[in-house]
Each structure stands twice: as structure tokens, then as C-alpha cells.
Structure 1
Amino acid sequence: MTRLAHISDLHFDRVDPAIVKGLRDELNHDRPDLVIVSGDLTQRAYREEYRSAGAFLRSLESPVLAVPGNHDITYIHLAQRFLDPYARWRRFIAREIEPTWTNDQVAVIGLNTARRMAWGFDWSKGRFGLRQLHRLNKRLEALPEHLFRIIVAHHPLHPPAHAPDLDVVGRADDALACFRRNRVGLVLAGHLHRGYVHVDEIDQGDAPRLLVVQASTATSTRLRGEPNAYHRITVRPGGRVHLEVRAWDGARWVAVAARDQGAKLTMGELPFHAPEVEEIAGRENAPAGLG
């Protein structure tokens, strides 16, 4: 059995310190085998934000696997953005932007979907590259057959059914086809600050049914009508996945029911706590750097 914690969209320094402390204490009290962070560790990729994010990750007693999000590339210093967009990531977070973690049961592979530029004015949407997917094929083919395969990326592959106009990552269909072909059983992502689960409708025979899990923001004050939350995931022998959603109720993390891809959140179903500095993200499709 492998126990994972999936956190996303930390957004240092747009955080509630009480929630950050509560998350650190809970993860260190009941330590998972791995903490997975699916992007947007910072708000504007400033040096101090990276320092805060790095200090938080180092305070965790479990190993950490993290991938960048669109907020982790500067929108201010254009020379840095285009010439060396991950310099601060490598300095404060990790040397790799597409890391891998394995044990005797699972393989977790990080993919970077953030892009330094894109067509149009909104550079926040993210994209899978064709060469990136080709490299992923080789990475997955090299894994032992018995390992349960998990992909971590920042941007969503499916919108929630009640909000179908929300953007998904570029080349989502190509990526999903690659995942299915290589028997990936679980995808973890964030970006939308909404938590929901999508079960792939395509039968893969004896391969596990692909489960795509979107996380809300774990610590940010920039909410989109949902509480701060994160996931506890248990992978049991045979690739059976148990998902527990943990939401912040203002004083502690509590277990709440997971929502499937088509379910709309009705406030009152989940504990909803306005952070210390409430900053509701008002636009569904925010412009570059504000998503």
C-alpha cells in the first residue's frame, strides 16, 4: 500500500498562515509516502515567494515531488522568462521540473505544462508538447510492468461539466491517448482552484480505468467558491485507488465527500472558511498570470 498527499496551487505569498501551518502539521503528523505538488507554488514567481514555498516544502518530513505551474514563471522579468524561466525553481524548489518517484508499487511522473509563451494574450493555459509526449512514452515504456502509473501536471485535462467553458490544457486529447496507451491509472492536476474527479469512459481492457483528479487550492486566499482542500490518496495492491478529500473548516482539516466531474458544488455541502485575507478570484477565465 502506498499513501500519497496531493496538494496544489499554494500561491505563496497569497496564503493564510493558519492554513499553511495546519497543512504542515497534518502532513507531518500522519506522514504520507510522498507529497505531490501540482504547480503554482508562487503567485508572481518573485524570489521571496519562492523562498517561502521552498521553506514550506523543506519543513515537510515526507519526500516531495513538485511540478511548476503558470504562476511559477515570471510575467515581470521578460529576459528571465524567455531565457531561463526555471532558474528560481531550480534554486529554491528542485533541480528537476519533470521529476520521477518510484517505490515497489507505484511510479509517479511529473510533467511540466507551463509555457513561457503561447499564441494569443492568455499565456496561462498551458500545453503538452509533442516531443514531451514522445519522451513520456519512453519513460513509461521503461517502467516495470507491475508499477501503477501516476501522472502529475498543473493544468486540467477535463473541465467540470457544470462549467464546460473553462479552459483545459493544450493537446489534452493527445495526452490522454498517450496515458491510456501506456496504462496510466491516475492523473493529478490543479490550476482551476476547483476539486472534482473524472473517470475516463474509455474501457482499457485489463488496464486500470484512467482517473483524473483535480485539486482545489490548498493554501491560497484566492478562492473560486470552494474551500481550501487537498487529497489523501491510497494506492492498494492491484491498482485500487482510494481518494479522500480533506477541506479546511477554519480550525482543522476534515474529510469531505469527493465530487465527480459533473457535480456542481452547492455551498453548505462542504465546510467553507474565508481565509484570513479573503481574495475571491472573480473571473472564470483569468488573463495571463491571473489564472
Structure 2
Amino acid sequence: MVLLMSLSDNQETIYFLFIFFLLIYLMTVFSNFLIILLVVTCAHLHTPMYFFLGNLAFLDMSYSSVTAPRMLFAIITQHWSISLSECIAQMFFVTYFVPSESFLLASMSCDRYVAICLPLHYSQIMSRRKFTQCVSFVWTSGLFPCIIFNLCLKRLTFCGSNLIQSFFCDLPHLLQISCTDPTINVLVLMGVGGILSSVAFVATFYPYVMIFRAVLRIRTSDGKSKAFSTCTSHLTVVTIFYASATFIYLVPDTSNLLTLNRVVTVIYTLITPLLNPLIYSLRSKDLKAALQRALHIHWLHPDTATR
């Protein structure tokens, strides 16, 4: 059995945390599902940028569903123990969704680069075939590290009841409680994870270097403002994603930083999947228009919606 770290021992705090995290999870599922529904049903949103956004919403909703329901169950029952097989299964999905989202953010950065720097060639470069290839790569990119990490995990043994300093299972946590020397696993994690994360990081931020250089050459302030506004939402999401991920995976898990680490982990696993659809919805006029049109048709004119 594996023992997860309890978020609180105070009974009143427990009920507050349960209600708070339950509302966040329900809002996350609802908001991301709403974006997926709008992207699929609204014809004017059938563009690569919004299809990428729909895939991001699905990834966020899936990642949150891997960690949040189990945490909510543990909070309300105060049953923080989890079987090793359940812990490994949770780790499997976490190690799949995190690389997939990082490469999806990189694909979205490249899409913004083409739209701003090469607008005349956008339809040719981001054709349906190219977009399908990008999305297929995103959904398969998480399989390679996931399979490698899980194969290496089979060489480890776990004994007794072990406490991990988190409310969900991730690969670094399992390596810390192993009874076998995890040096090989750590090297594989650093090698594979380091290469993939570096590639995704460069592919995400380098297009923005090129975008900023192109925008600075625009003479009019209105043109600069319009160009920046098209990528502000994505850049905000990327910054939150990499800032929280860097703190969780690179900052040492010491006792002095334990509380801060748990707060950042909550932000990374629960708050960020909720913030992403809110950020895009607030910044995108097309999404807001699609939502207003959907509410107008289905609520004010229900007869029209059923035809």
C-alpha cells in the first residue's frame, strides 16, 4: 500500500477543502467540455487554432479527472492509502498527459507563428493534412516516455507502507519509496524527460521570439496591439504551465518548501485546467460570440434549436 499525504487534519478544513476542490473540478469539466462543444458545433471555429484549443480542453479535462476524483474521495473519507497498482495506473496517465500537453502547447505556438509571420501562406502550411499530423503527433508523443518509464518501473520493488509527499502518484514519488536502487530509473527519467521537455520548451518559446521580432517591425501601434492580442492568451497559458511544472519537478522537495510545493501542485493539477478555458474565453472574441449565439438560440429560442 502507498500512503498519500493528507491535505489537512482539521475536520472543518477538510469539509471546506472538499467543497472547494469539488467546485473547481466541476467547473473545470464544465468549462472545458463547453469549449469542446463550441469548437465541434460552430462552423466558424473550424480552424486549426480552435481545434488545437479543443484538444487542449480535452487534455486538461482528462488530466484533472485522473487526480481530482481520487483526491476528493480521500478528503471526504480520510482514507489516504492507495494500492500500488492503483498508484502505478495513476502515474501512467500523469506521465502520458503531461508530455502530450507540452507538445500541444508547442504546436499552438507554431500555429501562432505561421498566422502572424506568414499570413499569406497560412492556409497552405496549416492545411487539414498538416493539422491532422500535428494532432496525431501530440496524442502519440506522450506514449513513448510513458511506456519507457513503466517498463523501467518493473525492475523496482516496493515493500511495506510508504508515504509520498503528494496527494497523487507521480513517477518521482514512486522512485523515492522504492526498496530497490532507483539510479537507473532516475537516469532514464532525467535523460528521456530532459530531452523531451527541452525540445517541447524550445518549440514552444522560439516561435514567440520570432513573433516578437516580427511585431516590433510593425510601424503602427494598432498593428502591434492586434498582433500581440492574438497570442496573449496562449502565452499566458504556457507561462503558467511551465512555471508550475518547473517548480514541481525541478525544485528540491525539502521540508522548508513542502507546503509551497503542495500549493503549487494543487495549482498545477486543479487550478490550471480551469484557468486555461477561462483565459481563452475572456480573450477570444470568436469564442465569446459563439457562446452568446449558443445561449441565444437554446435559451431564448428553444424552438429554433430543436429544428
After TM superposition, the score normalised by the length of structure 2 is 0.29
Greater strand share, structure number? 1
TM-score (structure 1 length as normaliser): 0.30
- Whose relative contact order is higher, 1 or 2, with alpha carbons under 8 Å and at least 6 apart? 2
